[in-house]
Structures are given as C-alpha cells and as structure tokens.
Chains A and B, each alone.
Chain A
Amino acid sequence: MTVQDSTAPDAALGLAGIPHTGEAVTADGHLTEPQAEDFNHARSAPPDPQWYKNAVFYEVLVRAFNDSDGNGTGDLRGLADKLDYLQWLGVDCLWLPPFYASPLRDGGYDISDFRAVLPEFGTVDDFSYLLDQAHKRGIRVITDLVLNHTSDAHPWFQESRQHPDGPYGDYYVWSDTDDRYPDARIIFVDTETSNWTYDPVRGQFYWHRFFSHQPDLNYENPEVQEAMLDVLRFWLDIGIDGFRLDAVPYLFEEEGTNCENLPRTHEFLKRCRKVVDDEYPGRVLLAEANQWPADVVQYFGDPSIGGDECHMAFHFPLMPRIFMAARRESRFPISEILAQTPSIPSGAQWGIFLRNHDELTLEMVTDEERDYMYAEYAKDPRMKANIGIRRRLAPLIDNDRNQQELFTALLLSLPGSPVLYYGDEIGMGDNIWLGDRDAVRTPMQWSPDRNAGFSRCDPGRLYLPAIADPVYGFQAVNVESQMNNTSSLLHWTRRMLQVRSEHQAFGLGDFTELGSSNPSVLAYLRRHGDDVVLCVNNLSRFPQPVELHLSDHDGCVPVELTGGVRFPAIGELPYLLTLPGHGFYWFQITAHLEEGEPL
C-alpha cells in the first residue's frame, strides 16, 4: 500500500478502501474505474414499456427517510427497510436525488465519482440491494444524474488540471482567457460573477455554468461523451430504472449563442436515448429543464417517431398556478397554462408535482404573479428562497385538510405522472429557520418516539432536527398514528392512489377541459379508449353549483370513483352538480346500466 499523495487524482475523494474512480492509473495515464460486474445486480422490475406513463412517483431523500445504522443520517439500507410502507402506500417509482460520492457543496449535485456511493448513504451493493428489494415489490427506482459537470474533486478534473497533455487534459472546457461565450448568462448570480474561473494548477480558466466548484464537462471531446454514456450503462447494468437528467440545456457551448438548448446538446441526448432503447428497453430518461412547456417539449425529441430524447420532463409552471388558482378561487391560472402547453410526442409524458426538495419555484410566473404568490404564501420573509417559497404543502395551505385533498386530487388527475414528495402524504410541516432549502428536508416522521422514529441516535446528532412544533411536530404528525386511523390523510392518500391505478385514463388518457359558467370550478375529462373519467374540482372555499355540458355522453351514468355511487344519468340538458367548499369529484362515465346491475 502506498501513502496517499496529495496530487493523486483520487486524493480529494475520501473514498480510501472503497472501490472508486482513480484507485489506480494505467501505464498510458488512464484512471481505473469500478465496473458494474464488480457489484451485485438487482432482479428486473416487471416488464411494462409504458410504466412511466401510469406511474405515481415518490421523491425521497435518502438522507431524510430512515437511518439504519444510527449515525443520524438516513441511508440506502434504511430506505430499503421502508419499502413495505411505500408498497402499501401504492407508489410505483422512487425518485432519489443524487446519492453519489460528493463533497456536498451543492446537495450532492456536485458529483466527485459517478461510480461510487456517498459513504454515509452506503455502498453500490447497498444500492443494488435497495433496487432488488424494490423490484421485488413492483417498485421502480430512478435517480438524478448530472451530465453537465462534475465536482472539482472528481479525479477526472484533478487529472485534467495536473496533466493538460494526459488522457483527461481535454475533459473540461479550458481557455487562456475568460472572455469566450460572453452571451451565456450567469445562472447563480448570488454567488458567481463569471462563468470562468482561473485554475492556478493548470494556469488556465475553466468554464462552469453553475458553481465555480462544478467545472463543465467538455462535450466537444468524443471521449467525454463515451465516458458519460458508460456512466449510464454502469447504473443501468446494476438495474436502475432510469435517470432524471439534471441541467440538460447546457451541455455544449457555441460562440455567439447563449449556450443553452444548442442542437448538439439535443444530438447527445438522442445518443443517450439510443443507448437506453437499444441496450436497456423499458428504462426512462426524465429531463430537468426549468423552462416554459413550449420550450421543454424539444427535449422529448422528434414527435414523428414518438420522441427520441427524454421520455419525460417536468412541467414546472403548473404547480405555482394550482396554488394561485385556489387562492383566487378561479380556474384560469390552471386553464391558461394547460391551454398553453403544447402536445407532446406519443411516447412522452409530463411529470407534475405540488412540492419537491427545492423551493416552490416561481421562475415560470410573471413578476406580478410572483408578488402575489409571495404575499399569499410567504408572509414571513424567511419563507422565501431564491425565486421561490421554501415551504411544504401542508403549511402552505394552512394545514387545511380539505385543500390538501383537493390539491392532491388535482395532482393525481391532471395530465402527467404525479410526483409526491416524501412526508406530504402525512401532511408534514417545515422549519423555515433552517438554512437554504433545508426547511423541507427534515427527517421523515415515522412515530411519536425519539427522533420521530427516524434514527436511534442521540437527537443532537441528527443531520437536521425533526419538526417538533405543536401542530406539525412528530408527536402529532407521524406515520404510525395515521396508519392506525383510517380517516387519516395517509389512508386517504392511499385510497386515492388505488383508485388512480384502476383507471388508465389518468395516465394515458387525453385531456379536455369542460367549460362552465362558474369560474371557481375546474372540470375536465380524461379519456383513454372506453375509460372516461370526469374530474370536477371546486377551487373556492364556498359551496358551488356547476352545470356541465355532457350531452356527448347522453344516456351514460357517472359513477363516483371512491365510493362507487351511481349518480343520475346524463341527458340532453346541462348536468347539474353541487360541490362543497374545496370539494372534488372523480366519476367514471359508464354506459347506461339498469339499477341493480353489477358494474
């Protein structure tokens, strides 16, 4: 064994004793990298090429979910221990934010080794175990992958700065000057003053669209493209079901452009998709591009062949508008954004969400709307973060059970695959006094026991304190007590997921908004073949009547989906419904049946 030398490419990793990139260097200067064959592979998930269109996703932070070894931080084994709960709840796919080796200067999005797991979370074999156990229960797992850049601690970067003429010398975007690509905006304006930073080791500037400790990879270099495709293959071989590709618009640079959404970036995404389609059918790519839907659709690729880039992309502007619509008691904020959403290729699907690990982003609203959202939902300045609001769902809507149900019903029935955020199924609260976006990243509340049942450690050792206030604290809000109470939000959420899973119209159906003369009621049809679901939502806190024009379904009977109650048949005249404040209905529109006939 040799003494670690500070110029060794893996010196900054802190992964001694764990398989990692740069453990050894070959004679021609290449770094040895862990291979998928070195690890256990998970069994396959049940085959279903369109699974992502019908799936309910559940975003879970490994750090925050369950601590198996008592060190105060959640880990992969801990998460695996809770898969029975997630299966019971009815989620179809877990989305894990990055769990790779990282100096954690950007929440793990600063990856220092794509082929190693952050030691506090476990090992690659622990991940493989989690995946295997998830697949056993019919649950899939995807994770984030950052294609655009690495951490500056990545052995590739260390090699690149120390050996400009070595095999990694051209892995990053180096320049003698800091004046190239002047039209590219600076994204993190709060912390960065330039997209170029000088590296004293190499004596050149390197390019970075995000933090200066995250150098951009040089996609002009064919070897970088191959290396990143091999990273995809590494995890796909182990059995992962897909990737959420982080910050995709920025892969290539070109003089005279803003260096976003360039044609060659799309070419590379098509290559990624081809690897998936040819070698790993049934796995998915989800694009993270925080842009307007009209701009995001290009990341689905060519619509004439059903899409040949990412299978999914997040629909960012819908979420703030759901909040705005309820506050204004008007359907128009939602109707407008859906009307502006272009159609997507046949193989594509939106991902939609109410909340996630970031703040409630308000980039996709006008200045006036942003002021409005701040005034309504961020009454304390500490509730704001960047251009957004750092709160969880329950406190955002004043812990109002009716609104929690309405919002969740909207999430589960609007077009797209819903993404739940861990803890929102029990109505967890937030802690706005924690720094950055940690307000919404506190430990999952399993029970009223010490540390909310999340960890056996000394409470002071927790990565973040559990929520302990009288309303949202773990004594009041936890899985155990809600499991024991069938009228709890948890049981309600589970029932709704069950209902959703019984109707493909929610995932695969087309969407038609039904107008009505009442601006507070949002009604729409989801239709897939014979499966026709009618959703009616009252965005007002007051009871509302609504007359719907359903005469296309003359003679059909609406059957309420949660209770199976048959409503009066639809006729030629407008169909009258009354809804309680913040009430909603899901109906299946069925061909007429005589009273008493089985459904």
Chain B
Amino acid sequence: MSTRPLHAVASLTDDLRAWLPAQRWFAAKGRELSSVRVERATLLSGGDPALLHAVIEVDDGERYQLLIGVRDELTDQLHASFIGKLGESFAYEATQDPELMAVLLDLLAHGSDEGGLRWEREPGVEVVTGLRARPVGVEQSNTSVVFGYHYIFKLFRRPVPGKNRDVELHRALFRAGSKQVAEPVAVVEDGGEGAVLGFAQRYFADAVEGWAMATASVRDLLAEGDLHAGEVGGDFAAEAGRLGTAVAQVHADLAAQLGAETVGADRIGGAVDQMHGRLDAVLAEVPALAEHEPMLRAAFDAVRGLAEGVEVQHVHGDLHLGQVLRTTTGWVLIDFEGEPASRPDERLLMRSPLRDVAGMLRSFDYAALHLLAGDDADTQADHQRLTRAAEWADRNRSAFCAGYAAVGVGDPRAQTVLLRAFELDKAVYEVAYEHRNRPDWVGIPLAAIRRAG
C-alpha cells in the first residue's frame, strides 16, 4: 500500500461513494452520492494489517470520520466490511477487525499526539491492554467497539468542532462521584479544531437495557389472564422507582456541578412557539392529529402562564428506556449527546429536567403497548389487553415519579402543566416519526394524545 495515507484514501473515493450510503450511521442513507472529498488521513499503524484514520466530506457538506483497515488478504469474517481494493490490498471498515482494534486500545492506553490526533487517558485512569475487541451490533449514528469486559469505545461518526456534550457531561457527573454513569476512560481529539473523535468509557458487561427489562415485565403481565400489574411476579414498579431515583440523582449532580437557572417569560414563550411549530409541521403530514389540535395548542399555551418561571439546567436530553442500563449495582444513564434531531448548538442549551422525565414517561407508554401495536380497541379481547397494558404504564410511570421525588429535587407530578406540555410535544414528534417509519405503531402516541384530551 501507499505510504502516503491521504493519497491512499483518496484513491478509494469511488468505492466510498458506493459504500457510504449503505452504512447505518450515514445520514443521507440510500441516496446517490456525487462526491467524496478526503479532508485528512493519518496512518495509525503500518504493516499488514495497517490502520488508517480519515475524515471525509461528502457532497452535502457533512463530514464523517472513518477507520480503514488495509490487508493483503481479507479474512472470511471481514468480507462483509470490504470497501475497495487498494492496489493489490484490500481496504475495509476497521472497527470489525479485532486485530486493528487492539492497536486502537494500545493508543488509548499509552496516549499519543501524532498526525494531528491526540489520544489521552482521563486523569488517574489506568487502561488494561490485550483485551479482545468486538463491535457492538446495532447503532444509529455512531460506531462502538467493546474491549473485553472492560471498556466501550465510541467513534463519533460526525465529529463536531468544540466541546463534546457527551464527554463534558460524563466528566462533570464523574467528578460529582455519580454512580449513575460509566466512568470516562480516554478521549481522542482532533488536535486542530478540537473536535472529539472518540470516547472510551467503562463497559458494563453485565448490563441490560431498560427497554428489555421493561418489556420482559409487560410480556409477563400479558401472559396472565386477568391479574393486575401489581399482582404478577414480573412487576416492574420497584425497578421503575429505582430508575426514577437514578435520573433525579443525575439531575441533582448536573445542577450542582454545572449550575441551574430560572428562565422567564421570554425563553418560555420561545419554547412554546417551538412546540406549536413542530405541531404545525406534523398536522400537515398526519391528518388524524387534527381532531386533537385545539387540546394540544391549549396544553402548550398553558405553559406561558407559569408566572414563577421555569428551572433549567443541563439534562440528558434524549432520555428513554433505551438510554438506561440496569447493572448489578443499579441504573446507569448512557449517551449524553442530547436530542439527535436538534442542531449541535441547540443541544448545548440548558433545559427543564422535566424534558427527561417526559421522555421516560413516554417510553413506559411505548413499552406497555409495543406488543399490542395494531390491536384494535373495538374488539373485546384487544380492549382487555389494551386496558391492562395501560394499567402497567400508569403503575410504572407513577412509580418512576415517586422514585424521582424521593431524591428531593421535586415531584414531577406537582408540575402538571409543564410535564403535560412536554409529554404531548414528545407524543406529537412520535406521531410524525411513526407515520413515516412504522405506520402500525402510530396508534401508540395517538392513543396517548387521545387519553390526554
């Protein structure tokens, strides 16, 4: 292969044009790409296999980072990761190659500042090397690799200059001694613009996603003939309560570390206008929502009347049951990148912690009803199942709030106006998402909106 990395990657651009649109993390999936420009490339490790780091820009101006492996011969297992030929060698997606990921772990462990990339351990952290690497299965916008039972490394596919919210909030919480986050281990930064390219954290090998925990409980409930949610063996309320406590603790720690403030009518008015704006867009797309428009607008406008203002602080920003892990020592929150749909600068704003609460409450609703997507409330049997699922949702939403309140940062149920507006705003967003992606599921947020009416 060429010893000039930039040239090597540049010679792959045609292959990348074909390859990129098929990647999960690629924003413009499935679209024809007219150009790929290599912004920079660095050789991280020579020999066979070799490891290259590259940042590319595609025709819509989006920038992506790539880890490219180069081998003289491709193993069976790496065939699916093939990008293109590089002379007689094969270039491929390197995160799928345990051998090259071991190189990456060495860089994280020992640190390096070459070719414009800075690899640095967090203060006081020792990194164990020689661990077997494996890629994490399904991910939306980034790519993660797990090392042994120890670390998880997240490659931010679309690096953004400036401070990285995920890293900063994790550091703040770790400084506060939080037990609800994974310890930061090491960071890879772009030496020039200061963008964070990768972030290694402690990995919870024994953890299970909150979504899997909650849906196991729902499944247990629906398999019973007619027991109430509190009567079945798989009752989730105790876990939901502990989860609420963990979330409140994270909010309290973030406020203590990074501050909180009360915003007045201006900011509130702006936020309410945004809710109306989102609703306008969805109404145009989903006619079924029209009958609820007056109720929704009234719920949003009620927030304008909050004379005492609204407390804002740094929050998780995209909290749902898929962003929390049950570990053997309790609940942990992950991925503090913020709302994926917002612009990076918007994500850095302080927001009401009730946004997180609303996100989690909506998630309980989803967990309760996901098995019943497509059920018809008009038939007797389905009506019974829907009623019992709704009972599960109510029980666990309430337990979550009670657990949250137990920390002493306030009971979400006492702020009905704000919480209701946030939940409905979220549900409106969900209606649009489901309408586009999973029409069978659109009934879940619609039913929630109907119940709120």
**A interface residues with partner B (beta carbon < 8 Å):** 327-330, 332, 335-336, 338-340, 368, 372, 376, 513-520, 540-542, 549, 551-552, 571-574
Contacts and interface: CB of A to CB of B under 8 A. Distances in A.
Interface of A is mostly: loop
Contacts of B329: 336, 339
A517 B217 CA distance: 15
Contact of B134 (A338, A376, A540, A549): A549
Interface stretch (B31-39, B206-214, B276-284, B343-351): B206-214
Interface string B64-93: 000000000000010000000000000000
Contacts of B216: 329-330, 519-520, 540
B243 to A, nearest CB: 13
A519 B328 contact: no
Contacts, number: 67
B223 interface: yes
Contacts of B77: 571-573
B213 A551 contact: no
A572 B98 CA distance: 9
Interface residues of B, number: 27
A330 B214 CA distance: 10
Nearest to B220: A329
A138 to B, nearest CB: 39
B209 A517 contact: yes
Given A376-B233, A551-B132, A572-B134, A330 B213 contact: yes
B204 interface: yes
21 contacts: A327-B233, A329-B216, A329-B234, A330-B216, A372-B235, A376-B233, A514-B205, A515-B204, A515-B207, A515-B208, A517-B208, A517-B209, A519-B208, A519-B213, A519-B326, A540-B216, A540-B220, A542-B223, A549-B134, A552-B132, A572-B134
A330 B208 CA distance: 10
A581 to B, nearest CB: 10
B219 interface: yes
Contact of B233 (A329, A515, A516, A551): A329
Given A327-B233, A328-B234, A336 B328 contact: yes
Contacts of A327: 233-234
B128 interface: no
A165 B135 CA distance: 79
Contacts of A515: 149, 204-208
Contact of B328 (A335, A541, A549, A551): A335
Given A517-B212, A572-B98, A542 B134 contact: no
Nearest to B146: A549
Given A330-B234, A339-B329, A514-B205, 4 more contacts: A329-B234, A330-B213, A516-B208, A517-B209
The 4 A-B pairs with the shortest beta carbon distances in the complex, nearest first, are: A327-B233, A339-B328, A515-B206, A519-B208
Contacts of A549: 134, 146
B216 to A, nearest CB: 5
A418 B416 CA distance: 54
Contacts of A340: 328
Contact of A332 (B98, B134, B326): B326
B176 interface: no
Nearest to A324: B233
B74 to A, nearest CB: 14
Contacts of B125: none
Contacts of B233: 327-329, 376
Contacts of A541: 223
A513 B206 CA distance: 7
A368 B134 contact: no
Nearest to A552: B132
B238 interface: yes
Contacts of A329: 216-217, 220, 233-234
Contacts of A542: 219, 223
B105 to A, nearest CB: 15
Contacts of B209: 517
Contacts of B234: 327-330
A116 to B, nearest CB: 49
Contacts of A339: 206, 328-329
B328 A332 contact: yes
Contacts of B134: 549, 551, 572
Contacts of B212: 517-519
Contacts of B219: 542
A382 B221 CA distance: 27
A427 to B, nearest CB: 21
Nearest to A329: B234
Contacts of B98: 551, 572
Contacts of B205: 513-515
A520 B212 CA distance: 9
A187 to B, nearest CB: 29
B29 to A, nearest CB: 24
A62 to B, nearest CB: 37
A520 B209 CA distance: 12
Contacts of A514: 205
Nearest to B208: A519
B244 to A, nearest CB: 15
Nearest to B134: A551
Interface in B187-210: 204-209
Contacts of B204: 515
A323 to B, nearest CB: 10
Contacts of A517: 208-209, 212
Contacts of A572: 77, 98, 134
B87 to A, nearest CB: 27
B102 to A, nearest CB: 13
A335 B213 contact: no
Contact of A368 (B132, B149, B208, B238): B238
Contacts of A376: 233
Nearest to A541: B223
A573 B137 CA distance: 10
Contacts of B326: 332, 519
Nearest to A521: B208
Interface string B327-339: 0110000000000
